Every structure is written in C-alpha cells, then in structure tokens.
Amino acid sequence: MGDLNAPEASSRRFPRRPESVAEARRFVRAALDDVAPDLVDTAQLLVSELVTNAVLHARTEVEVAAARVDDGTVRVRVTDQRPDRGLVPRECPSYAGTGQGLALVGRLASRHGVDTGEDGKTVWFELWPGGSPPRADGWGPAEPPSESGERVTLIDVPGALYSASQQHRHTLLRETILAVAAGDDLGVPPEDLATAHDMSNVISACVTAALRRQPAGQEIPSLPLWLPADAGPAVETLRRVLDLAEDAARDERLLTLPALPRSRVFHQWLFDQIVGQLAGGHATAWTVVPREPGASPSELVPWDAAQVQSSRVPTIAADERNRIVAVNGPAADLLGWRADDLVGRPLTTLIPEHLRKRHLVTFTSLLLTGQPRILGRSVPLPALHHDGRLVPIRLFVQTQETADGRTVFVAQLAPRAAAPLSSAHPPGRSRSAAPQEPGGGASPAVREGEGDGVLEGALDGATEGALEGAPRTGRGHAGLSALERLSLLADAGTALSNTPDLDEGLRRAGRILTERLADWCAVDLFAEDARVERVCVVHRTAQGLCPEDYEGRLPPVTEAARGPLARALRGAGPLLLTEPPPPSQSSSPLDAHYLDLFGHLGAHSAIVAPLRARRQIIGALTVARGGAEQPFTEEDLPLLDDLCRGLALGVDNARLYQETRNIAERLQRSLLPVLPRVEPLQLAARYAASSTTAQVGGDWYDSFVVPSGDTALVIGDVTGHNLDAAVAMSQLRSMLRGIAVDRQEPPDTVLRRLDMANHTLYREATATCIYGLVKGGADGPWELVHSSAGHLPPLLTAADGRTRYLEEGSGLLLGMDPDMPRPRATDAIPAHSTVLLYTDGLIERRGESLDDAMERLRRYTSALAREPLDVFCDELLIGLGADSDDDIAVLAVRPVPPSAPG
C-alpha cells in the first residue's frame, strides 16, 4: 500500500457527519477520472460503505486516499482514528438493511485488508483491471473483547431468532443515528446513542466470536460471552435507546419497521441475562422464558417448509409480503385446492371477501406497529373454500424465523369444533381413528432368535404409581430403584393423560423416556385404514439429526415384512435388539424404513414392544441407546412391558374420548339450523366450540318463521360439556320448535310449556334460553317480543353506535320451577339497528366481573354498528372469542327497509 503515500495519490479528510459519505464518493470519482468507468463505479460503492462504517462506528474524522498505478490497478484506503474498534465482518443475507459493507468489499475487491497502528486504523482495497480473482489478505479473524472481563452464558440461544433480532437492532440504531444527525428529536441524547451503538457492537462481536467457537452442526448453542465487568449500565442504556427507537418506528419517523413480538421478547431476555449475570445472578435459558401472546412458539430451530409438508395438521405459511410460501395436503384438502396451486398466491385468496379489508388492515398494522391482535391465540373465523363456500375454522397463527433471519407466519387451521392447536414445530396432531388389529393379538412368545440378535420374553405384570420427580439416570432397570421405576411409569402415564392432544401427550411421554431411560424413542400407531403412522420420534439431544423427518405414515405391514417392528406390530415381544436390525431383515419397505431409522439416529441396543389395548394391537414402542450408555438387557424387558401397558391404556382412552366427542360434535353441527330468508330482516349466526377444552357443550341457536309470519329467535345453553348436554340441547331445541309452531303463543307461555316438558325428561337438568318473536311488516315498525329463562339479556345496537341491553322479561332458568309464571317484554327495533343474542362464552372470563364483560361487549358492538351483519358477527368472534374456554353461539338480526338496503 506504499503507493497510496506517493505524491500522485490524492487524499482528503472528512468530518464525522453523514454528509461525508456523499462527499467521499465525489472525491473518489474526481481522483480516478482517468480510470475505466466500471472500476470507478465499484470504487465509489465500496468507499461509500467504508466511510459509512467509519461515521457510524468510529465516529472520528476520516481520511480517504485514492490512486491509480501504472498497470491500471485502483488502490483506495479509508483511515479513522479508532484503532481499538476492530472490524467485525458478518455474514448477512442479501436483503439485510445493515452489515453489508465489509461483505461487499470482500466480494468485489481484488484484494482487501486492514492495517491497525497506534493512532488509527486503515481499511484498504484494490481493484484490478479485468476482474482478477482475489488473492491473499482479507479481514483476518474477528477478535472479541478481551476474555479478561466477566463471563456471561446465554443458554439455548435460538440461532434464527438471534440473527433476525440482531439485524433489526443494527438497522434500528443506524436509522436513529441518521435521524438524530438530521436534526430529528427522538428523545435520545447523543451521548446515550453513542453508548448504545458501541454496546450493541460489543455484543455482536462477542456473539459472533462465540458462534465461531461452537462445534460444527450444533443447532442450539449455549454461548459463553466475555464482557467488561462494568457493561451493565451501557446495556441498560442500549435497552432505553432501542425502546425510544421502537416508538419512533411505530410513529413512522424512521424508515425501518418496529420489531415483531418474538424479537422484542428475545432482546429483553438477552439484556436481562447480561445485566443480571454481571450483577452476580444466575443464567436463565431462553427455553424457559414465559411467552406473551404472539411471542411464541419457543422452538429453537429455524423454520423449514418441510415442517409444514410433514404435518398432518392443516397448516399454511406466509411471508412478510402476505404471500403463501408453503401449504400441506390436509390444508389444501380442507379448502378444496391443490397445494401447489396455492403457493405464491396472496393469503387473501383464502379469506372471505367481507374480511379481506380487515385482514389487510390488521396485517399492515402488525408490520407498522409490531403489536399483534391474533398472533399466538386461537381465533374462530371462516375461511374461503375453492368453490366459494365458507369453512368455519379455528385459526392459530405463530411466527418463526428462517435460517437467514426472515419472518414466516405459520397458521394452523382446525375445523371449528376440533381440538385446539398449540405447537408449531412439529405441529400437534389429533386422531379419531379406531384402532384395528392387522394380525390378531398374539400372546408373548418364548425366547428365540439368538442368531439375529433378538430375544423375545414372556412377560406379565402391571404397575401403578403416582410418584414424581425421579432424576434422569441413563440406566436400565438394573440401575433403577423401585421408587425410580414407579416414578417413570407414573410420569409417563401422567404426561399422556394430562394432554388433550394425543400426539403431544405421546411426545411429552417420549421426552420423559429419553430423559431417564433411553437416547431416543419412537411411537408407531395403527390408523383406521390399518396402515401405520409414526406419531413421534423423540431424541435426547437431537442436534442436527432431525428425528421428526421419520414421522408420518409408514409403509404397510405386508406378509413380506419380517423385521422387529413388523413382528411387534403383529403382537410379538417385547423384543430385545442387541444390535441394529441386520440388512437381511430389510426385504420389505417397512423393514427398510425401520433399519434406516436406526442408521440415522444410531443405537447399539434397543427394545421394541407392542402396544395392546382391549385385546388388540394398536401400535408399538421403540426405545434405543447408543454411545457410552449401558446397553439394554433382559432385565429391562419387564419395565418396558409395564410402560407399554400404561401408554396403550392412555392411547386407547384418548381415542375413545375423541370418538365420543366426535359423535357429540357431529350431533351438534347437525342441529345448527339454516337461517330463514325473511325480508326485510337480515339474519346471521355463528357457533364456535371452546378453544381450550375442545369439549362439546349445550350451546345452540335457532330461527324459524311461525305460521303467523313472525320470525322466531332462539338462543340457549344447557348446563354441561359432554354428550349428555348435546343430547339434552337437541331435545330442547326440537321441543321448543314444536311448541312454538303448534301453539303460536307468546314467548313467555312457550317457555313455560317448554320447561314443563323438559321437567318430564330431565328433572335435574338446567338450561338458559331466550325465545323471541320479531314482529313487523316490510316497512316496519318492528318490535321484539321476548322472554328469557335466566339467559344473558339481548343487546340492541343502534345504527349510530348507541347500545342498550334489553333486560326486561328475564325469569328463572329452565329446570328450576316449571309452575312459576314467566315475564314477557316488548322492545322496539329501529331500522338498521342490530339485536344480538349470545351465550356466555362470548363475554365471560375468569377473574372478571360480569359488568365489565358486558361493558366490553357494548364497546365492540358500538364500533361495529355500521358493518355488514356477517362482518359484525365474525369480528365479535375474532375480538372476543379468541382463547375462550367455553362454547360460543351468537345470533343477530337487523331490519333493513327495502328502500334503504345495507
């Protein structure tokens, strides 16, 4: 670089201000006016990046020198006065807003490097004519701050989320510096901004160095960082500056967007860990940090489209442009599309027209403000089928990050009354399939098979227990005490029984087994079509192994299948494998798949055992050990047999429960009526099962025209959440219809007769109900004549947003005293006003007074007063029905005179 100091080299000093970047570009073009245009353009670009780095990071006066030598080579240097501020080259994706400067120099320069002296630091590059390839030199290793400081350990750092959060942090600070330099008052003192920027760079340098020291292939690192002992106050300053910058971004005073919820939560955790540990506190893993709505899931691995494709839960993923990037088969089937035809389309393709504006506003608001409305919540709403009809679903949306730091919105769809979804990787799955026995329940076989490394044991016995807290031993039955054995059996059974979703329960049980007994385990279950599905594969330390790739539907159990899994699925075992299954046992696709599982995950011993329930084989459990773990022995077989008995019982109970619930759901859905078309009345109704219990209740609505021409409105709720409640509800609905149509009596009389009839069927059953009649001609006026049996009062919302509860006409619940006279009330219904009937699941929340709940409903309906009736109902369910732990039914009516449609 000596030529840059020659007399013919041009140099110039620039002050520490943003305008110096443009001035340096003009200076370089003037200094290289006799150089090939393509080299000048490249030199201008690279000098712009390096001067920007110096202005932002060094914050000193900058000297730029440029020269052309005889062979046409261009040499440029940029010198600042901060030799202590080393370079931290980062690998950034092409779309990243910051961090590209040194990467561009590295890609475009023929040679580049950095020279550090006592008084300054010089970053230089050369451009060769003809685009010659780079030679030696380079930036050299990035040196973190001295390890003489204090150690801070970040446990279970999610790499993809860290990358996204770091990119956003640097972009936010850069935008803030430029805004403050331009005179914009963001409430950030210049000295605090400088401290925050320096501290952010120190953290990035430490993390980058720590990541480079990690073993190859480790996806979930725990990073040791060495930070100055007095860094705590600077980190708090960084936290404050980022909060102010986020506020400015939400107010659209910066070019960048605010952070999404997961990034905010991650930064708070990161700063808390640094400040807390420097003050003497203990480390807290990211995996145990409490999540906020919209900040989950807690998965550490990057998002991958294969997660969507392999899931049996209807799942759709979209990017930040609102474009669909992945769809699986179940989601495509649910909505009547081919999966490939949906990829690339806007997400609004699947949103009903009356909700598209709402979706775009909400999605834009999320990006502009970072504040979610439905992320991380189970929301009832309709989806648009390919044929144009509406599909009632529950939507559960979460964000995940790709390996290069972008955000993906992952949405799981469940039919409206189906079980709620709560996990994203791998997504939870539920089954209603009745188990079938492919080959008969064989009795345990006697010992044989020494030639192929398999021992079969005749076993008996059952164990019960309710102990907790046994530590992980990593040993077999011979090393487990009686207490540890009972605790293992009890905890595995509890993990399965305490989770409403069967697959998630088996996964939790698998985690217990891998903590205390095995390196990895797999659970395979028969589906209703007699094929086998691998429900879960759980590995103790699944770094880089991706055991979930082996989940899903397996090849069929054919006559040619003779491997250990096929034998267990026919009833043999438990089978002790003293070595992996030999290649000779891979003559069928099922055997080959099982052998491939062992080859991928590794094992020196394993046990595969059948799962039996009600004299049927419903699946198989495989547990395996490898590495330095003690191999399984015959002494472990009784324990595995006991485990399989408990797991099979849990699986069978879950399936029976699911089957019963499905019957109730089908019954309840079959009773939801088609609303009549009655001019000039507009009618709309919605039903949503609980998002938390997924149990069927006794909520119902109904509407029909009585012979007199009046329109009947009915809503009710039978006590209970089970099949009995659904049956009782169906009978009440049928009886009420029959009485109302036959007698054509006032609502109070109809309810009294209904109560008397119900008393003969269910003496101890109680229910609430409203029965009303809407009276009026085509041009009005209209009135609602109604009587209530202990139900929440109807809510009248005028077109101008005024609201009033119709509290007159309220009497006792059905089932209390059928001889008690019932009141009746009559209320006028102005044109374009909306009468809303609803069940308590829409408004009631634990720990909240009923008055507050009803006031919230008034605010919602007032804001929706002028919306179309379908939008009115859907917005109520979206806003109030998310995460409700009770069923919801709503019925709305709005008179619209023919002369003023709307």
Among residues 68, 93, 127, which one ends one of the domains? 127
Residues 589 and 678 in one domain: no
pLDDT of residue 729: 81
Contact 303, 402 (CB under 8 A): yes
Residues 726 and 847 in one domain: yes
Q: Are strands 315-318 and 407-415 parallel, antiparallel or unpaired?
A: antiparallel
Residue 424's nearest CA partner among 337, 345, 326 is 326
Residues 702 and 810 in one domain: yes
Rounded distance between C-alpha atoms, residue 882 and residue 873, angstroms = 13
Among residues 288, 316, 348, which one ends one of the domains? 288
Rounded distance between C-alpha atoms, residue 261 and residue 537, angstroms = 30
Phi, psi values for residue 269, rounded to 5°: -60, -45
- Would residue 421 count as lying in a domain? no
Residues 102 and 209 in one domain: no
Residues 677 and 784 in one domain: yes
Residues 620 and 734 in one domain: no
Residues 646 and 689 in one domain: no
Which conformational region is residue 759 in: left (phi greater than 0), alpha (psi within -120 to 50 degrees), or beta? alpha
Token duo for residue 373: 């409305």
What pLDDT digit, counting tens, does each position of 118-161 carry? 888 899 998 888 765 555 556 665 454 455 578 899 988 887 88
Q: Are strands 698-705 and 552-553 parallel, antiparallel or unpaired?
A: unpaired
Q: Which helix (H) or strand (E) holds 756?
A: helix 747-761
Residues 627 and 769 in one domain: no
Token duo for residue 528: 């209703």
pLDDT of residue 816: 84
Other C-beta atoms lying within 10 Å of the C-beta of residue 33: 8
347 forms bridges with which residues in the sheet? none
Rounded distance between C-alpha atoms, residue 391 and residue 382, angstroms = 5
Among residues 606, 632, 660, which one ends one of the domains? 660
Rounded distance between C-alpha atoms, residue 575 and residue 618, angstroms = 17
Angle between helices 159-181 and 190-212 (to 10 degrees): 150
For 174-198, the DSSP string reads: HHHHHHHHTT---S--HHHHHHHHH
Rounded distance between C-alpha atoms, residue 886 and residue 875, angstroms = 18
Cβ within 8 Å of residue 101, ≥6 positions away: 49, 50, 52, 53
CATH of the domain at 313: 3.30.450.20
Q: How far is CA 784 from the centre of its chain?
A: 44
Q: What is the separation, in whole angstroms, between the first and last Cα of the chain?
A: 77
- Would residue 822 count as lying in a domain? yes
Q: Are strands 782-789 and 810-811 parallel, antiparallel or unpaired?
A: parallel
Q: In what order do the strands lie in the sheet with 315-318?
A: 324-327, 315-318, 407-415, 390-401, 378-384
Rounded distance between C-alpha atoms, residue 626 and residue 606, angstroms = 9
pLDDT of residue 473: 41
What pLDDT digit, counting tens, does each position of 520-548 carry? 899 999 987 778 888 888 888 766 667 77
- Would residue 425 count as lying in a domain? no
- Would residue 422 count as lying in a domain? no
Domain with 500 in it:
450-660
Rounded distance between C-alpha atoms, residue 11 and residue 6, angstroms = 10
Residues 117 and 158 in one domain: no
Contact 888, 881 (CB under 8 A): yes
Residues 747 and 826 in one domain: yes
- Would residue 436 count as lying in a domain? no
Other C-beta atoms lying within 10 Å of the C-beta of residue 524: 26
Q: From residue 849, how far is each of 812, 841, 852, 881 by CA, in Å?
A: 21, 14, 5, 17
For 578-617, the DSSP string reads: SSPPPGGG-SSHHHHHHHHHHHHH--SEEEEEEEEETTEE
pLDDT of residue 118: 83
Regions of the chain where pLDDT drops below 50 = 1-7, 142, 144-145, 293-298, 418-478, 694, 901-902
Residue 145's nearest CA partner among 205, 200, 88, 58 is 205
For 828, the 3-state DSSP assignment is strand
CATH of the domain at 47: 3.30.565.10
The reply to whether the predicted model has a pTM over 0.75 is: no
pLDDT of residue 403: 73
pLDDT of residue 291: 55
